[in-house]
């Protein structure tokens, strides 16, 4: 299979950057998208050219590193699929494929397709943890949890922090990511001690890092490779209002 790749090349965060065109041949439908880029990079190295920089780690759809916008869609044309799990059978011989990094002020480009997602780490550091006493692990059944809450918490915890929600949002909002991180702890009794402080601190960090506000376009849910639901944003808003009212009452 032959393809024409239009790939965003940018030397560093200060470089203007541009799309460059590369023909690539010998691609099979069984290859993953990242394997296809590996083939291109081998070709570029052989020609003594700078290979395309891109993020990857597990290549199993669980680490969230493979952040690319492919033909205008975060992670490409398949729903519920990360870039590393996208296979070349999604494309046809002779196709032109446009590959770009996430586009958001809060995710500055480091080089080519690699972006800096430190802002997500800062949100987690602001409150994505629970207080625990050291010692032996307690029995799994010693703290009964409602089945519905447990399932909702697991669904929210499936977020891999890839940033596709930010890339898809017209406002570059990180509310789906933030909503998932707040929800999965708010639904469990283990998250109760920091419940109010958590949402206030994480929301403040979200805004401080330059993410936009949510206007409920639904693009984040549509492009999320793990299918994180918009209901988590609704729960986030409820948690925030509850915490904000509680903090005002304490001041009084």
pLDDT tens profile 200-221 = 999 999 999 999 999 999 999 9
Average of per-residue pLDDT across 167-186: 97
Closest listed residue to residue 163, CA positions, set 124, 220, 111: 220
Residue bearing the bigger pLDDT, 160 or 133:
160
CATH superfamily of the domain spanning 117-132+141-251: Alpha-helical ferredoxin (1.10.1060.10)
Domain with CATH 1.10.1060.10 in the chain: 117-132+141-251
Q: What pLDDT does 134 receive?
A: 64
CATH hierarchy code of domain 3-110: 3.10.20.30
* pLDDT of 231 strictly over 90: yes
* pLDDT of 251 strictly over 50: no
pLDDT band, very low/low/confident/very high, at 252 (cuts 50, 70, 90):
very low
Secondary structure class of 233 (helix, strand, coil): helix
Q: What pLDDT does 95 receive?
A: 98
Domain with CATH 3.10.20.30 in the chain: 3-110
Q: Element (H or E) spanning 7, and its range?
A: strand 3-9
Which pTM does this prediction carry?
Answer: 0.92
């Amino acid at each position: 299979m032959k393809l024409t790749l239009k790939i965003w090349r940018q030397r560093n965060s200060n470089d203007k950057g541009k799309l460059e065109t590369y023909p690539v041949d010998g691609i099979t439908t069984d290859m993953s998208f990242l394997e296809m880029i590996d083939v291109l990079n081998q070709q570029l190295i052989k020609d003594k050219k700078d290979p395309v920089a891109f993020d990857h780690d597990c290549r199993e759809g669980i680490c969230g590193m493979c952040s690319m916008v492919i033909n205008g869609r975060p992670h490409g044309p398949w729903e519920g699929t990360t870039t590393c799990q996208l296979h070349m059978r999604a494309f046809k011989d002779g196709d032109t494929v446009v590959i770009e990094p996430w586009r958001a002020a809060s995710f500055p480009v480091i080089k080519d397709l690699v972006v800096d997602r430190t802002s997500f780490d800062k949100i987690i550091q602001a409150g994505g943890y629970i207080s625990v006493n050291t010692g032996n692990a307690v029995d799994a059944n010693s703290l009964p949890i409602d089945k519905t809450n447990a399932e909702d918490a697991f669904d929210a915890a499936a977020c891999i922090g890839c940033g596709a929600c930010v890339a898809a949002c017209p406002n570059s909002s990180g509310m789906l990511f933030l909503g998932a991180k707040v929800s999965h702890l708010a639904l469990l009794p283990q998250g109760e001690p920091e419940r109010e402080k958590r949402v206030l601190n994480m929301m403040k960090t979200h805004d401080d890092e330059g993410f936009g506000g949510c206007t409920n376009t639904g693009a984040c849910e549509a492009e999320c490779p793990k299918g994180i639901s918009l209901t988590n944003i609704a729960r986030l808003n409820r948690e925030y209002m509850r915490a904000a009212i509680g903090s005002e009452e304490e001041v009084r």
